[in-house]
Amino acid sequence: MPNTESAKKRMRQEQRRRMHNRMVKSIVKTNLTKARQAIAAPTVSDEDTTAAVRKAISELDRAAKKGVIHKNNAARRKSRLMKQLNAK
């Protein structure tokens, strides 16, 4: 446990940031899963598929902009997602 006031404050800040980052990562994962499922499903229309992919890419960019994930990590995931979409 922290002994000084500044260490206590730092611990509170880290916990707050950790919870926020976890929430953002969860949103990214959810949107990526939805996009992959839309790509894989034969019954989903092309407009719905592109909308799901666009939403996933937007969330990846937002997470990278906030520093939750690295920008190259976001770029790699976007590239793989677009590769799956174009292979459909």
* Domain ranges, ordered by start, for the chain: 5-87
Q: Which top CATH class is 5-87?
A: mainly alpha
The pLDDT of residue 42 is: 87
What pLDDT band is residue 64 in, cutting at 50, 70 and 90?
A: very high
The pLDDT of residue 68 is: 97
Residue ranges of the alpha helices (H) in 41-70? 46-66
In angstroms, the CA 14 to CA 10 distance is 6
What pLDDT band is residue 88 in, cutting at 50, 70 and 90?
A: confident
pTM: 0.87
In angstroms, the CA 8 to CA 13 distance is 9
